[in-house]
Structure 1
Amino acid sequence: MGRFINPFTDWGFKQIFGREITKDLLISFLNDLFDGKHHVTDLTFLDKEQLPEAKDMRGVVYDIYCKTADGKNVIVEMQNRYQEYFLDRSLFYAARSVVGQSQKGLWDYSLVPVYTICFMNYGEGKDTPHKFRTDVALTDIDSGELFSDKLHFIYLMLPLFKKEEEECENDFERWIYVLNNMNTFDRMPFLAKNAVFKKLAEIADVNTLTQAEKEKYDESLKIMRDAYATYKTAKNIGREEGVREGRAQGIKEGIKAGRAEECRGMAIKMKQNGLDIMLISQITGLSEEEINQLN
């Protein structure tokens, strides 16, 4: 175990990016992420729990939800394990942020942009991106031009970032390298490159945590490890059950096919003997259309 906390635990992630005292770290990361396309000067943390508009609707709880000084809504999510519909979930979360902008009374439907940034700390799944960074926006299909600036998604597949310390060319890459490896470090790299990594080292140093913070971190670390162990076990069991179910299903399909062929044979004989189509259908379970197609 290294000197610094694991940033991918729920507590560790919010310790680094989700507090008023450390919001300059989040601002620095966002500016490096946006790479000059947008510049965040300040931000305000919003209520992470968004209650549903009706009792039968589902609320959402964001990992980090904030508004920049120029009015953009920013959602930051950390996902440690594969979830089949995680991309759909990110769309749902963004949509809730859009719907939450509605106003009572007269309103012209003017919206502020919503940016959803997803750290995806796993490397498998049929519907996950196959490159480290994927930027998504509403564009015209034919021209590729931006159609609306109100919805943006940035997906970061962390295991697909393969650069080593000396290969990182800018502060964004340095951020990703540090987050990917921080819990193994005995020293924080890049201290001479950017003062933000010095503050990160101070915030994330396990030795500087209070006893209460240490207990919260240990509990969060245990939850992450237990969840991973449960996921691995379920995955292995699912693979074994899949093999058994596949064999059983093959047997069932064979029996089903045999019975269906037998019913078609009976139907042909009854049809040759002039029995009514509706009666044949009742006896064999075949549809009238199937019977009419039999020769």
Structure 2
Amino acid sequence: MAKYINPYTDFGFKKLFGEEANKDLLIDFLNQLLPSHHQIADLNFRNSESLSESSEERKAIFDIHCRSSSGERFIVEMQKAKIKYFKDRSLFYITFPIRDQAQKGEWDFKLEPIYFVAILDFEYDEAEERRKFRRDVALKDQDGDLFFDRLHFKFLQMPLFNKKANELVSKFDKWCYFLKNLESFDKIPAILNEPIFQKAFDTAALASLSAEQRDMYEQSLIHYRDLKNVIDTAVEEAVEGNKAEIAKTMLREDEPLEKVVKYTGLSLNQVQQLRRELDKSG
């Protein structure tokens, strides 16, 4: 039985990073991603639901929306499943803290820095991005020089983080290791035995939840697992469908059954069934 919450659930993520009592956890995590000139000393949570200015426009609901004491604005998203147009959605989201800075009357259009941080429990489709656990994106010109220093995107593809405890080098590594493996820990690993992570583990302990919180977490966990099962099933069916199409092509070319089995990974019975289906269809 798990001892700690799953941080990829809505409840788990907001319990760790979205509560006033635990904002030091969020500050510490974000500071590992930020340059020295944008380090956070303190922050305030803002309404996570941003309404558009007109009824025709869509509203955005963020996991966490906050502002540092020095003015930087942050949207932090835990994305559990692959969705279409995620980059487009990310761009859409940052338009809200941009417009939120608009001032009535005389205004010189100066903007405070905005960061969009996405922790992804999936990999992108693009082959280039599949090789990158972390992507730091900013506006640059044709020579790769930074054009605008106040708009940044941070994407973390958590499935690509595979470091073991003895391979952790930085505080950032430790946070990623914590998030990736939290639900499987039965105690605090020695590498994470320091005050900020001790608090994170205490916050994530299932035993510390009230009966009402435990029920909310269980519902959130069920939703997370159901979503993952649907996605995994769809991927598996898609893979099997591709294998079947490859096998049919090979069978039409009169390749030996043993070769079809070897190159598709299908069982001999599956290949024989496909052979019969092709024979019936002529």
TM-score, structure 2 normalization:
0.80
Structure 1: distance between partners of 2:127 and 2:192: 39
Match of residue 139 from structure 1: 140
Q: Which runs of 5+ in 1 are unaligned?
A: 246-295
Matched, 1:36 2:33: no
234-243 or 104-113, larger mean C-alpha shift: 234-243
- 2:145 and 2:157 mapped to 1: Cα distance? 25
Equivalent residue number for residue 278 of structure 1: none
Map of 1:59 onto structure 2? 59
Q: Which deviations, in whole Å up to 9, do the C-alpha atoms of 1:201-223 show, x marking residues without a partner?
A: 11001111110110000000001
Matched residue, 1:256:
none
Residue of structure 2 equivalent to 1:210: 210
Q: Determine helix, strand or coil for the equivalent of 1:57.
A: coil
RMSD: 2.3
CA contact (8 A) 1:51 1:59 kept: yes
Which residue is 1:230 aligned to?
230
**Alpha-carbon contact 1:190-1:197 (below 8 Å) kept:** no
CA distance in 1 between counterparts of 2:232 and 2:46 reads: 35
- Cα 1:137–1:190 change in 2 (3 A) is farther
TM-superposed CA distance for 1:81, in Å, is: 1.2
Contact 2:6 2:182 in 1 (8 A): yes
Preserved CA contact (<8 Å) 1:72 1:114 = yes
Indicate the residue corresponding to 1:174 in structure 2.
174
Partner Cα distance (1:146, 1:192) in 2? 35
Report the count of equivalent residues.
Answer: 245
- Whether the 8 Å contact between 2:8 and 2:80 is mirrored in structure 1 is yes
**Which region of structure 1 is more displaced relative to structure 2, 115-124 or 180-189?**
115-124
Please say if residues 116 and 153 of structure 1, whose CA atoms lie closer than 8 Å, have aligned partners that are also in contact: yes
CA distance in 1 between counterparts of 2:13 and 2:221 reads 11
Deviation at 1:100? 2.2
Structure 2 unaligned segments of length 5 or more: list them.
Answer: 246-282
Q: What are the Cα deviations for residues 102-151 of structure 1, in whole angstroms up to 9, with x where unaligned?
A: 22222211111110111011134238823111111111221x22211121
CA contact (8 A) 2:25 2:196 kept: yes
- Tell me the secondary structure at the aligned position of residue 151 of structure 2: strand
| Residue in structure 2 matched with residue 291 of structure 1 by the alignment | none
Q: Is the 8 A contact 2:38 2:72 kept in 1?
A: no
Alpha-carbon separation, structure 2, partners of 1:67 and 1:54: 24
Instruction: Go from structure 1 to structure 2 and tell me whether the alpha carbon gap of 1:216 and 1:153 turns closer, same or farther (over 3 Å shift).
Output: same
**Whole-angstrom CA distance in 2 between matches of 1:148 and 1:82:** 29
Question: Does the aligned pair in 2 maintain the 1:76–1:117 contact within 8 Å?
Answer: yes
CA distance in 2, matches of 1:190, 1:30: 23
**Cα separation, partners in 2 of 1:70 and 1:235, compared to 1, 3 Å:** same
Q: Is the 8 A contact 2:174 2:192 kept in 1?
A: no
SS at match of 1:129: helix
CA deviation after TM superposition for structure 1 residue 32, in Å: 1.9
The range that moved more, 2-11 or 79-88, is: 79-88
TM-score, normalised with respect to structure 1: 0.77
Please state how far the C-alpha of 1:38 moved relative to its aligned partner: 2.6
Q: Distance in 2 between matches of 1:35 and 1:173?
A: 16
Tell me, in whole angstroms, the C-alpha distance in 1 between the residues paired with 2:70 and 2:85. Answer: 32
| Matching of residues 99-118 of structure 1 within 5 Å | 99-118=99-118
For residue 89 of structure 2, what is the aligned residue in structure 1?
89
What's the CA shift for 1:166? 1.3
The Cα offsets for residues 31-68 of structure 1, whole Å up to 9 and x where unpaired, read as 12226353211000011100111111001001000001
